[in-house]
Amino acid sequence: MPVHALAHPLAAHLVTHLRDETTKPALFRTLTHQLSLLLALEATRDLLTRDTTVRTPLETTTGRVLAKPLVVVPILRAGLGMVEPITTFFPDVSVGYIGLERDHATAVARSYYCKLPPLAGTRVLVVDPMLATGGSAVQALDAIADAGGSDICLLNIVASPEGIRAVTGSHPAVTVYTAAIDRALDARKYILPGLGDFGDRLYGT
């Protein structure tokens, strides 16, 4: 199964505080950054490296450097909260944007923006904190595959079983990394127990 749930105790700790309804936007953003870095480290654990030589103050030695550039693609708007830790910690990253918004009545996502850099030869990290029905993620992955992306990981903070089934069913080559796999969706297609509307809590709207 191409689905990895973070097993680190710190991830569980951070998700619990993110779920807490009393957590204010400033702390919510910090927790989002921390979890995004943990997810990005997992999703790049197998990145290729190449040999190089480096001169230390004492002598020349061999080392290894990352051989594959990253592209991070947030699904707007909540995915934006996951970008900064990745661009800060990885040396060669470009950023694409996909704008999708769920209709409040139908929970079907509508596309309103798409701008992607060249994807050939890169590892693409699609970041969106919530995977509910999977409709947004599947649309984003369709667009990335159409644009030439082939080495793709989806990074979520909370995923539902239904969303995981939708993604793995339509994009079996995509690896999913998530900090938590929750129980179910409610009648409005919100994740249970979840943490509510991620974008609203991130931006205080």
Q: What residues are annotated to the active site?
A: 102, 106, 197, 200
Q: Which does 191 bind (CB under 5 to 8 A by kind): ligand URA, ligand PRP, none?
A: ligand URA
Q: Residue 81 has what DSSP assignment?
A: G
Site string for ligand PRP, 136-165 (x = CB under 6 A): xx-------------------------x--
Interface residues with ligand URA (CB under 6 A) are 130, 132, 190-191, 194, 197-199
CB of 94 to ligand URA, least distance (A): 26
How many residues touch ligand PRP under the rule CB under 6 A: the total is 22
Q: Tally Cβ neighbours within 10 Å of residue 88.
A: 10
| CA 113 – CA 178 distance, rounded (Å) | 25
Q: Which does 77 bind (CB under 5 to 8 A by kind): ligand URA, ligand PRP, none?
A: ligand PRP
Residue in 94, 115, 100, 90 with CA at minimum distance from that of residue 39: 90
For position 132 contacting ligand PRP by CB under 6 A, the verdict is yes
Point out which residues pair with 176 in neighbouring strands. Answer: 3, 154
Cβ burial, residue 160 (10 Å; 0-12/13-18/19+): buried
CB of 139 to ligand PRP, least distance (A): 8
SS3 190: coil
Span from 12-20, 21-29, 56-64, 102-110 in contact with ligand PRP (CB under 6 A): 102-110
If the CB atoms of residues 70 and 131 are measured against ligand PRP, the closer one turns out to be 131
| CA 115 – CA 95 distance, rounded (Å) | 9
37 within 8 A of 22, measured Cβ to Cβ: no
Among 14, 15, 38, 75, binds ligand PRP (CB under 6 A): 75
Radius of gyration, alpha carbons of the chain: 17
If the CB atoms of residues 50 and 115 are measured against ligand PRP, the closer one turns out to be 115
| CA 81 – CA 175 distance, rounded (Å) | 21
For position 95 contacting ligand PRP by CB under 6 A, the verdict is no
For position 198 contacting ligand PRP by CB under 6 A, the verdict is yes
Which residue is associated with the tokens 């969706």? 185
Binding site for ligand PRP (CB under 6 A): 75, 77-78, 100-102, 107, 109, 128-137, 163, 189, 198-199
